[in-house]
Each structure stands twice: as structure tokens, then as C-alpha cells.
A and B are shown apart, each in its own frame.
Chain A
């Protein structure tokens, strides 16, 4: 029988359907893995309440573990503690940047109602002369930015 460490390794092969460079481990949405009485339980937490990728991720985890010969799998969804972008791993942040999505920057934009838009360096040319185009981007978790130097339009994975 496999142990939980092995399950965590298998989960490295399950990617986010909307940002395929990130695994579920990079995203930090897997909160717990346990094996009890032959049942493998994976606990995940949603990024956003309405994120359409969650159901798909749940199915992908079950399918991946089945492929690895683990038949008895249950995926539980928990809401608390609520997911935060702080849980995206260092490795995950690097992958986002290479993929062309600016990783979450700091804590500022989480709490303040009238904060200036966060300074987000361009993932293409690294210039910090950039501007926010819209607080809401191609998915709920991203804002839309543009670089004033190289003119590259890009997504910013906003802090949550």
C-alpha cells in the first residue's frame, strides 16, 4: 500500500486546467492527504467560490490516483481556512512568471479599499513601469495589466 508521501508525489502530476503550468501542489489548494482503512482522502480548498476549475480538479485527482492503482479515493472540499495566494509555492511563482503571468506581489491589495494598484513588474521585460488596465482579467483570480515600456499586455495573479 502506498503512503501519503507517495500520494503527494502523484498529485504533482495533476495540473490546474486553467493555468496548466501549475500543479495543484504549486497552487497550495491541497490541504491534506490521508489514508485510513484503505480509503485515500484528499482534502482541497477552492481558490474562488465560483471557480469553474474546481470540479475538474476534483475529477482529475480521482482519475490520476486511479491510474496509479489507487481505486478507493475521496476528494473533500473545505472552505476554512480560506485559500490565499500566499500558499502558492516559490516554485509555482517562478513557473507563473515564465509562463507570462505576473505572480502575486504582496499583501497590500488584499485589504485596502482605496489602495493604489499594486506595482507589478512586467513578466516579459521586467520593467516596473506598468499599469493596471482592469481589476478583473481573463479569470476571477487575475487582473489585467499592461507594460508601458514594451507594451506587453499581461495577466497578474492578484492577491487573495
Chain B
């Protein structure tokens, strides 16, 4: 089981790490000071969650690889994050839409993981859930403000939804890793989360006067290491220091 659990924890850890890295790109570039601070605060929470998750993954793997090595010294095909979180920031509306679709999923997932039969995973969920609720509050309020805002803000955030919707099917991706862990009560049944996610997302989008695109083509692959073209560029920035100066610390 620990091999499946390693894989699962790595997937969650990579979601946090990659989205944290993406959000940190806003540091010093936010549209207003408050949002510059908010996005980087959320990035910090995510990097903190990534640290805890990747430390646990490193422990489960039992190969003496550290959390830092997992974070900075893998190649792109070894990252198991969702395609959604590696998508480029775009404008503020796209960043917010990406965040909202993810936050809604993460909140519901962490709520379910509270009762995981794996105590450490449940503890990580308990800690992270509190932060995630603030993230979701922030992102959903912005989706509504932008969607039901000016003509331009509506158009931009609708375009972002149209573009990002095709990455939301993967939130509920399942393979043999999930089947094994579900059987032993470590993780919840994904269909349970999916229904609640649909409800939550539809309610917010309705209030934001936004509509989901008709084209329901969905991508997946991130969970098994097949990524979009954007991940490589992100990793080259994120890994630069460790690649250029191996084992450096500060």
C-alpha cells in the first residue's frame, strides 16, 4: 500500500508546489497592492502544504530522497500535478478562475480526507483545510466580482473559464492508485466530491453570470506525468538554483 500512498501524496504535493510556484510569479506584479499580497500569501500557504506533503512522500518512499530533492530534482515526466495548476497565469481573471476551480476541489477533498484511515494524511488535511477555506472565499468572491462586473471583466473571465474548463475533468481522474487506497479507506470516493464540486462551482458561476462552455472535451495526463507544454518552462525557473548550484542551501 505504501507505494500507492506515496504516489497519491506526491500528486497532492505536486498540485500545491506547482500552483504555489505559479502564484508566486505574481509577486511584485499584482494588479493592486492588496492582490499582490493576497496571491503571494496563498502561494506561501501552498508551498507550506507542499513541504508537508512532500516530506511525507519522501518518508513513504523510503529511498532517502528528501522533500527538497523531490521538489527540485525530478524531471517533468516525474511530476504528477494536475494540468490545471501548471497553466500559465494569463491576466488576473485567468489566475483567479484557475484558483477558484482548484480551491473548490481542494476544499472538498480535504474535508473528506479528514476521516482518512491514514492518520498523517488526515492531519495534513486538517491543517490545510483551514487555509484552503480562506483561499476559496477569496477566489470565489473575485470570480463573482469580475464575472458580474464590467463588460470587459466579464468577457475576460468568461474567456478564462472557456479555456480552463477542459482541465477540470482531470480533478476527478482515477487509476489503480486511487482504487487501492479507496479500498483501504485512505481516500474518499471521487464521485462524492465531484457532485459537490459541480454544485459549488455552478452556484458561484451562476452568481457571476458566467456559463460553462458547450464543448466538453477534457484533457488528462498530469496524474501520470504527461504534461502540457507549460510545465517545462515553469520547472526550468523553479529548479534553476539547485541545478546551477547543486546542494545549495540558505
Contact = CB atoms under 8 A, between A and B. Distances in A.
Contacts, number: 80
B130 interface: yes
A79 B127 contact: yes
B245 to A, nearest CB: 21
A140 to B, nearest CB: 5
Give the dominant DSSP class at B's interface. Answer: helix
Interface stretch (A3-11, A63-71, A90-98, A129-137): A129-137
Contacts of A110: 130, 133
A104 B162 CA distance: 39
A121 interface: no
A46 B127 CA distance: 9
Contact of A48 (B48, B120, B124, B138): B48
Contacts of A133: 34
B48 A136 contact: no
Interface stretch (B35-43, B85-93, B170-178, B220-228): B35-43
Contact of B128 (A49, A78, A113): A49
B209 to A, nearest CB: 16
Interface in A75-95: 78-84
**What 8 A-B pairs have minimum CB-CB distances, sorted nearest first?**
A50-B48, A49-B48, A80-B123, A134-B34, A136-B38, A50-B44, A79-B123, A136-B41
Interface of A: 46, 48-52, 78-84, 110-111, 113-114, 133-140, 144, 158, 160
